[in-house]
Structure 1
Amino acid sequence: MTGRPVPDPAAELADRAADLLPWLRELYRHFHRHPELSMAEHATADRIERELTALGLEPQRIAGTGVVAVIGNGEGPSVLARADIDALPIEEDTGLEYASQAPGVMHACGHDAHAAALLGATRILAEHRDVWSGTYIAVFQPGEETAAGARAMVDGGLLERVPRPDVALGQHVMPTAAGTIGTVTGPVLSAGDSLKITIHGRCAHGSMPHTAVDPVVVASSIVLRLQTIVSREVEPGTFAVVTVGSISAGAKANIIPDSAELLLNIRTYDMAVREQVIAAIERIVRAECVAAGSPADPDFLYYDQYPLTRNDPAVTDTVTEAFVDHFGARAVYEAGRVTASEDFSLIPDAFGVPYTYWTVGSVDPDRYRDALSRGAVGREIPANHSPRFAPLEVPTLLTATRAQVVAALAYLGAELPAVAVRPNGGSEQT
Structure 2
Amino acid sequence: MNAVADILNDYETIRADQEALYRDLHAHPELSHDETRTAEEVSRRLEAWGFDVHTGIGGAGLVGILRNGDGATVLMRADTDALPVTEATGSAYASTADRVMHACGHDVHVACLLGAAQLLASHQDAWSGTAVVLFQPAEETGDGARTMLDDGLADVIPEPDVALAQHVLPGPSGTALTRPGPVLSSADSVRITVYGRGGHGSMPQKTVDPVVLAAHIVVRLQTIVSREIDPTDPAVLTVGSIRAGSKSNIIPDDAVLELNLRTYTDATRTHMLDAIERIARGESQASGSPKDPTIEVYDSFPLTDNDDAATARVADAFAAHFGERALPMELQTASEDFSDVPRALGVPYTYWSIGGTDPQEWGDAERKGTVFSDIPANHSPLFLPVTQPTLETGTAALVVAAGAWLVSE
- Where on the TM-score scale, by shorter chain, does this alignment land: which range? over 0.9
Q: In the alignment, which residue of structure 2 is the partner of 1:164?
A: 159
1:292 aligns with 2:287: yes
CA drift of 1:64 comes to 0.9
- The superposition leaves residues 268-306 of structure 1 with CA deviations (integer Å, 9 ceiling, x where unpaired) of 111101111111111000000111111121111111101
> How far, CA to CA, are the matches of 1:235 and 1:326 in structure 2?
39
Residue correspondence of structure 1 range 318-337 to structure 2 within 5 A: 318-328=313-323, 330-337=324-331
> Is structure 2 residue 14 aligned with structure 1 residue 20?
yes
Corresponding residue number in structure 1 for 2:38: 44
Q: Do the aligned partners of 1:15 and 1:402 also contact (CA within 8 Å) in 2?
A: no
C-alpha contact 1:65 1:142 (8 A) present in aligned 2: yes
Distance in 1, Cα, partners of 2:294 & 2:7: 55
Alignment of 1:270 onto 2:265:
yes
Q: TM-score, normalised by structure 1?
A: 0.93
> How many pairs are equivalent?
408
**Runs of 5+ unmatched residues, structure 2:** none
Map 1:117-136 to 2 at 5 A. 117-136=112-131
Q: Is residue 28–residue 96 contact of structure 2 (8 Å, CA) maintained in 1?
A: yes
Q: Deviations over 1:39-69 (max 9, x none)?
A: 1111111111111122122311200100101
Structure 1 runs (4+) greater than 6 angstroms displaced: none
Partner Cα distance (2:158, 2:320) in 1 = 29
Partner-residue secondary structure (3-state), 1:146: coil
Aligned to 1:79: 74
In 1, the alpha carbon distance for the partners of 2:106 and 2:311 equals: 22
After TM superposition, the structure 1 = structure 2 runs for residues 93-132 of structure 1, keeping only pairs within 5 Å, are 93-132=88-127
Cα displacement string for residues 291-346 of structure 1 (whole angstroms, at most 9, x for unaligned residues): 11111211111111011101111111111111111111x10111110010010000
Find the partner of 1:234 among 225, 229, 236. 229
The residue that corresponds to 1:190 in the other structure is 185
Q: C-alpha distance in 1, partners of 2:182/2:264?
A: 6
SS in 2 for 1:202: coil
- The superposition leaves residues 46-103 of structure 1 with CA deviations (integer Å, 9 ceiling, x where unpaired) of 1111111221223112001001011111110000000000000100000000000001
Matches within 5 A, 1:26-425: 26-61=20-55, 62-328=57-323, 330-415=324-409
> Secondary structure, in 3 states, of the residue corresponding to 2:76?
strand
Q: Quote how far apart the aligned CAs of 1:162 are.
A: 0.4
Quick one: distance in 2 between partners of 1:43 and 1:297?
47
Structure 1 residue identity aligned to 2:334: A
Q: C-alpha distance in 2, partners of 1:385/1:154?
A: 26
Look up the SS of the partner of 1:20 in the other structure: helix
Which moved further from structure 2: 206-215 or 75-84?
A: 206-215
Q: Residue 17 of structure 1: CA displacement?
A: 2.3
- Report the AA paired with residue 406 of structure 1: V
Give the residue type in structure 2 aligned to 1:66: G
The CA RMSD measured in Å over matched residues stands at 1.0
For each residue in 1:100-132, what CA deviation from the matched residue of structure 2 results, as whole angstroms up to 9, or x when unmatched?
000111000000000011011111111111111
Shift of 1:184: 0.7
Q: CA deviation at 1:16?
A: 2.3
Give distance in 2, aligned partners of 1:236 and 1:339: 16
In 1, distance between residues paired with 2:342 and 2:367? 38
1:134 and 1:163 mapped to 2: Cα distance? 11
The answer to whether the 8 Å contact 2:50/2:66 transfers is no
Q: Which runs of 5+ in 1 are unaligned?
A: 1-6, 416-430
| AA at the equivalent of 2:374 | E
- Whole-Å separation in 2 of the counterparts to 1:73 and 1:239: 43
Query: What is the CA distance between 1:201 and its match in structure 2?
Result: 1.4
Query: Does the 8 Å CA contact 1:18/1:398 hold for their aligned counterparts?
Result: no
Which secondary structure state, in structure 2, belongs to the residue aligned with residue 144 of structure 1? coil
SS of the equivalent of 2:102 reads coil
Q: Percent identity among equivalent residues?
A: 54
Contact 2:52–2:66 (CA<8 Å) still a contact in 1? no
* Cα separation, 2, equivalents of 1:410 and 1:58: 23
Q: TM-score, structure 2 length as denominator?
A: 0.98
